[in-house]
Structure 1
Amino acid sequence: MDEVQRPVFLCFKWGKGYPCKYTNILFRALSDLVTTPFRFICLTDDPVGLAKGIETQPIPPFRMDQSDWHKGMWPKLSAFAPGIAAPGTPVIMMDVDVVVLRDLTPMIDRLRAQGGLHIMREIPDTLPRLFPSIFGKPLLSNSSVVGFIAGTQNHIFETFHDKTYAEVQELNNDQDYIHHHANDRQCWPEGWILSFKKSLVFHFPVNLVRPIRRPENSYVVIFHGTPNPEDVTKGPFKRWGTPEKFGFFPVKWIKDYWARYSRDTDR
């Protein structure tokens, strides 16, 4: 399989937010579950500690001051810079704080068949979901898992790379920027990607008696905000979550996943 035919899973590691074990766990999970041969590329400012088999590239340079990067995870827009993968290559950009549930080949096949940019529709909070006429707001996108064909979305980086934070902050973050600038933006099918805290965790007091079950027909569970996946592997009696959605015990299927793909040598 040549370079264009072999799809790319792309992630980022920069700063101190997520140690390299998050990247390594994602790589090992994909290597175990995905049946289609692929390349795994990490754009990073520090490749030390990354597992063998992970390709590393420096984060393509852009103007924004590094002190502003975390105000929306703006480095993710450099995924659309030319040269990371050969034009025509299917690329799936993933956050490292996700749990992969099964073979992602159908996501790759969808990219090849339809082209465009595939992104998850933003999931509303509980009140907007239950009472949309009162609490609802326009839903944009969530950039935890973004699929595109290399070379077709370069303009996203080209319109961003020379901007300061002040020039883009009205769009709030990287995912809003992608939402408004992508060519042929499409949503992943409903249910393919779920949010741990918005889709799976119950509100108090139901959370105290209802277990968090592993989704049967989904491909990826994303974590955004609080908690992180590692947080829900600890316990018992280690509180995790938000004031309304929380737990005191590990979530077994996530704990098993974390243990299966971890190594003691990871930082």
Structure 2
Amino acid sequence: MVNVLCIKWGAKYGPEYVNRLRSMVRRNLAREHRFVCLTDDRSGIDPDIEVFDIPKVGIADFDAQVPWVRGHGWLKVTSFANPLHDLTGTTLFIDLDVVIVDSLDRFFEPPGEFLVIREWDKRDGTGNTSVYRFEAGAHADLLDILRRDQQRILGEVRNEQEYVTGTLGAQGKLGYWPAEWVRSFKRHCIPAPLGWFGTPRIPPGAAVIAFHGHPHPDEALAGRSGKWFRKVRPTLWIAEHWR
């Protein structure tokens, strides 16, 4: 038994994103698993999904969900709470704004304490936490460090993934999946230059397509880029997988 975990807060993504993610996981993961959503609003989430509150972690800003912890992914750090409700064992965290296009079983195979994809546009070893694997409860020190030294950390890093992967990298606990497994829609699917020629395609070997920033999956499906300078033609394969 393994766990697949997601988190939803605020109104940026509705419950349909959780429900679609659950459906995609069900179709693309052969291993026996629990699908769990941490959230501050359970309304509209399908009844077959295990739903828990976002953990209280003893950090005032996190527990009150002040604006800065709702930005740049910081609430995802609560996934490292120990205990994490009743979850134990190997856990695959997946962001809501992804499209799963092939089997997820591969993500449970390589050894490692914390596995992630290397961030595509950085050279310092930062991982992109759209998808990461860990053992439930194993990295609670990430919260301890924030609890002790929040202001210094916020002055040194821009976002949650820089903090998480930088800290675990310094501890020798960070590993990376093959680059092909998780791809960026903007960087790897849209044809150059900036999508003006050709329709977005699924890169060879990809299992997960991450839609960070704009366009979101619904925008890309309809052919809206979210940016005046970027062209995205209607991407019909999204409808096949994002359901």
Counterpart CA distance in 2 for 1:123 and 1:252 is 25
Distance in 1, matches of 2:234 and 2:39, equals 31
Counterpart in 1 of 2:3? 8
Which of 143, 146, 154 is equivalent to 2:129? 143
Does residue 254 (structure 1) correspond to residue 238 (structure 2)? The answer is yes
C-alpha contact 1:202 1:245 (8 A) present in aligned 2: no
* One-letter amino acid of the counterpart of residue 230, structure 1: D
**1:198 alignment counterpart:** 187
Alignment CA distance shift 1:115-1:150 (3 Å): farther
Mapped contact 1:91–1:147 kept (Cα < 8 A): yes
Scaled by the length of structure 1, the TM-score of the pair is 0.80
Is 1:18 aligned with 2:13?
A: yes
Matched residue, 2:54: 59
Supply the AA of the counterpart residue of 1:101.
V
| Residue type of the alignment partner of 2:237 | W
TM-score by length of 2: 0.88
Partner of residue 217 from structure 1, selected from 185, 190, 205: 205
Query: How do 1:129-168 residues align onto structure 2 when only pairs under 5 Å count?
Result: 138-161=124-147, 164=150, 166-168=151-153
Q: Tell me how far apart the structure 2 counterparts of residues 219 and 22 of structure 1 sit (CA, whole Å).
A: 18
Counterpart Cα distance in 2 of 1:85 and 1:8: 12
Deviations 1:185-229 (A, max 9, x none): 001112111000011112346x23322122331111111111111
The answer to which of 20-29 and 147-156 deviates more is 147-156
Aligned partners of 2:101 and 2:241 also within 8 Å: no
Please tell me whether the aligned partners of residues 86 and 151 of structure 1 are also in contact (alpha carbons under 8 angstroms): no
- 1:37-52 superposed matches below 5 A: 37-52=32-47
Correspondence for 1:239 among 224, 227, 236: 224
Given that residues 203 and 244 in structure 1 are in contact (C-alpha distance below 8 angstroms), is that contact kept between their aligned partners in structure 2? no
Q: CA RMSD in A?
A: 2.1
Deviations 1:115-147 (A, max 9, x none): 3100111112xxxxxxxxxxx753522111011
Q: Give the structure 2 partner of residue 132 of structure 1.
A: none
Q: What percentage of aligned pairs have identical amino acids? A: 26
* Distance verdict in 2 for CA 1:88–1:20, change over 3 Å: closer
Provide the residue aligned with 1:264 in structure 2. Answer: none
Asked if 1:34 corresponds to 2:29, the answer is yes
Q: CA deviation at 1:101?
A: 1.1
Q: Which residue of 1 aligns with 2:174?
A: 185
Identify the range of structure 1 (207-216 vs 27-36) with the bigger mean alpha-carbon deviation.
207-216
SS at match of 1:26: helix
Give yes or no for contact 2:112–2:174 (8 Å, CA) kept in 1. Answer: no
The answer to whether 1:119 aligns with 2:103 is: no
In the alignment, the residues of structure 1 paired with residue 44 and residue 87 of structure 2 have an alpha-carbon distance, to the nearest angstrom, of 29
What residue ranges of structure 2 are gaps of 5+ in the alignment? Answer: none
Cα distance, 1:9 vs structure 2: 0.7
Shift of 1:81: 0.3
Change in 2 beyond 3 A, CA 1:198/1:103:
same
Q: Distance in 2 between matches of 1:233 and 1:23?
A: 18
Change in 2 beyond 3 A, CA 1:87/1:13 = closer
Consecutive unaligned residues in structure 1, runs of 5 or more? 1-5, 125-135, 262-267
Q: Cα 1:251–1:221, aligned 2, differ >3 Å: closer, same or farther?
A: same
User: Which segment drifts farther, 83-92 or 210-219?
Assistant: 83-92
In 2 relative to 1, CA 7–101 (structure 1 residues): closer, same or farther, beyond 3 Å? Answer: same
**Cα distance 1:162–1:96, how it changes in 2: closer, same or farther (>3 A)?**
farther
| Greater than 4 Å deviation, 4+ residue runs | 85-88, 161-164
- One-letter amino acid of the counterpart of residue 116, structure 1: E
State the secondary structure of the residue aligned to 1:60: coil
Give the AA of the match of 1:196: F
